[in-house]
Amino acid sequence: MDLNQKTQEVVALSREVGKFIAKEASAFDRSSIELKGLNDLVSYVDKEAEKLLVKGLRDILPQAGFVVEEATATHQDEEYIWIVDPLDGTTNFIHGLPVFAISIALMRHKALVMGVVYEINRDECFYAHHEGKAYMNGQIIQVSPVKSLGECLLATGFPYYNFSKMQNYLDTLNTFMQQTHGLRRMGSAAIDLVYVACGRFEGFFEYNLRPWDVAGGAFIVLQAGGTITDFKGGNNYIFGKELIAGNVAQPQMLEVIKKHW
């Protein structure tokens, strides 16, 4: 398979579906919001965008299965699996905050081989494939060279439905607030991750994550020279619901988190 060609096809598809999402954002009616669970929102835009992406990805790679947020397609242990979030940052979208993205990853035999994240409002498409560099709109990107935790700007995501580890999280925030340049909460894990990949953030951590939140962005971070682990320092960060991504300072982040989790 020509992964470079396939990646460019996914980039083009993401941009096309992004036009639909941007158009709907300009006149979105909040009465169409549905509630999947506590603070877990969805709209017709998520569902329609996912249908468009699934159709396009099937054309690109017909033999692949799917792990998708809105359950419009499934997988049955196929060699290749697409992991898709049609609208990462739905709550931002619903409230008119211009921070949301399409996130797509491709796995082969359970290993990531491609990632594409399209940040719709800034028209920034981040992408990478196996044995290749990481790019944003055709330009090579790399993680930040900052080495000291004290000079790092970090991103995180607030708990919004599972509050069982709230104190662990608050204790972690307390340390990072005092030992870094600060923390930001964008409301989209996919965007947080690609911002690590291009050096805007030095690191990102969150728990209660789902595979479609992180798979695309995580692969791009790795191809941009970053490091990713779960909260224990292991590799279960796509399906393990927790993730620490960062540049060379990632081990320092990990040590802080290990103290509180």
> In this predicted structure, what is the pLDDT of residue 77?
80
One-letter amino acid identity for 187?
G
Domain with CATH 3.40.190.80 in the chain: 149-260
Six-digit token pair at 172?
């972690």
Domain with CATH 3.30.540.10 in the chain: 3-140
Whether residue 37 is predicted with pLDDT greater than 70 in this model: the reply is: no
Cα separation, 202 vs 189, whole angstroms: 14
> In this predicted structure, what is the pLDDT of residue 29?
73
Q: What three-state secondary structure class fits 125?
A: strand
One-letter amino acid identity for 15?
R
Q: What three-state secondary structure class fits 29?
A: coil
Q: What three-state secondary structure class fits 254?
A: helix
> In this predicted structure, what is the pLDDT of residue 39?
47
CATH architecture label of 149-260: 3-Layer(aba) Sandwich (3.40)
One-letter amino acid identity for 119?
E
* Residues 73-119: tens digit of each pLDDT: 667 689 999 999 999 999 999 999 999 999 999 999 989 999 999 99
> In this predicted structure, what is the pLDDT of residue 38?
54
> In this predicted structure, what is the pLDDT of residue 69?
79
CATH class of 3-140: alpha beta
* Among 6-10, 68-72, 160-164, the least confident range: 68-72
Q: Mean of the pLDDT values across residues 204-215?
A: 96
